[in-house]
Amino acid sequence: MTTHSRTIALEGRGLTKVFGAGELAVTALHPTDIAVHEGEVLVIMGPSGSGKTTLLSMLGLVLSPSGGEVRLGGDNVTHASADALALIRRQRLGFVFQQFNLLPSLSALENAAVPLLLAGVPRRERLARAADALALVGVSARASHRPRLLSGGQQQRVAIARALVAGAPVLLCDEPTASLDGETGRGILAALRELADRERRAVVIVTHDDRVRAIADRFVHVVDGRVTSDDGSIHHVSSTHSEVQHD
């Protein structure tokens, strides 16, 4: 793997999630410190129900934490308004899911351009930028095809192009290889690794797939809502967690 700067792209400090209250309270995530740097691939693994999606959702600003904070490029964005969070998600975060969620009536190029359409970028510029994004993930030759004419791996590449087209410095991927066969999945992982190396994007991958470790700069394991490092030590949480809110 390449040497990368140690600039933190996205960070959770003392991030905690408690669902419910009183006797019914479930601590989905105990206070956790976690960070991903520019140009780095961070892989989060753990059994079903361990808290991985909860952690990723808080880092992705789609679930508000019960305690702790989320910092993006050094800015504490935890308490931004709903509108501000929506804008931050659109401009600064890219999401990749197991299901590719492409729009069936649009070509690969138009699908990749959707975030720019939402951002009001003029058509010519957005198609040019979408073409660049498709090239980055190796599906330029399929630009004019609709999703149903693409293989699963090609559809996932288009979904990754869509996630990075607006220039997001951070890509958050939830089981990006789960619906792909082994070889196709490896191709997607290689593409994500390359985005980190060449484009300095920070890539966070939540997965059950042990092969994803092969592309990780760092790896953490989540068990029962607690995050441990590769060496098995529980992540040290330095900040104090004053207010824990219950949903």
Ligand X SMILES: Nc1ncnc2c1ncn2[C@@H]1O[C@H](COP(=O)(O)OP(=O)(O)OP(=O)(O)O)[C@@H](O)[C@H]1O
Q: Which residues contact 236 (CB under 8 A, 6 or more apart)?
A: 33
Stretch that binds ligand X, among 43-51, 83-91, 108-116, 128-136 (CB under 6 A): 43-51
Work out whether 48 is an interface residue with ligand X (CB under 6 A): yes
* Strand ordering across the sheet containing 67-72: 26-37, 8-19, 67-72, 75-76
Residue with tokens 């441990």: 228
Smallest separation (angstroms) from ligand X to the CB of 6: 28
What is the rounded CA–CA span in Å between residue 25 and residue 156?
Answer: 37
Out of 4, 7, 8, 19, the only residue in the binding site for ligand X (CB under 6 A) is 19
Paired tokens of 195: 């985005």
Q: Going by DSSP bridges, is the β-strand pair 170-174/67-72 parallel, antiparallel, or unpaired?
A: unpaired
Smallest separation (angstroms) from ligand X to the CB of 228: 14
* Count of residues engaged in binding ligand X, rule: CB under 6 A: 11
Q: Which residues contact 87 (CB under 8 A, 6 or more apart)?
A: none
Question: Which x/- pattern over 204-223 shows residues binding ligand X (rule: CB under 6 A)?
Answer: --------------------
Smallest separation (angstroms) from ligand X to the CB of 205: 13
Residue closer to ligand X, measured from CB, 57 or 156? 57
Question: Which x/- pattern over 23-42 shows residues binding ligand X (rule: CB under 6 A)?
Answer: ---x-x--------------
User: Helices (DSSP H) in the chain: which residue ranges?
Assistant: 52-59, 82-92, 108-118, 123-136, 152-164, 182-199
Which class for 64: exposed (0-12), middle (13-18), buried (19 or more C-beta within 10 A)? middle
Work out whether 97 is an interface residue with ligand X (CB under 6 A): no
Smallest separation (angstroms) from ligand X to the CB of 142: 30
Smallest separation (angstroms) from ligand X to the CB of 185: 17
Stretch that binds ligand X, among 52-60, 69-77, 80-88, 209-217 (CB under 6 A): 52-60
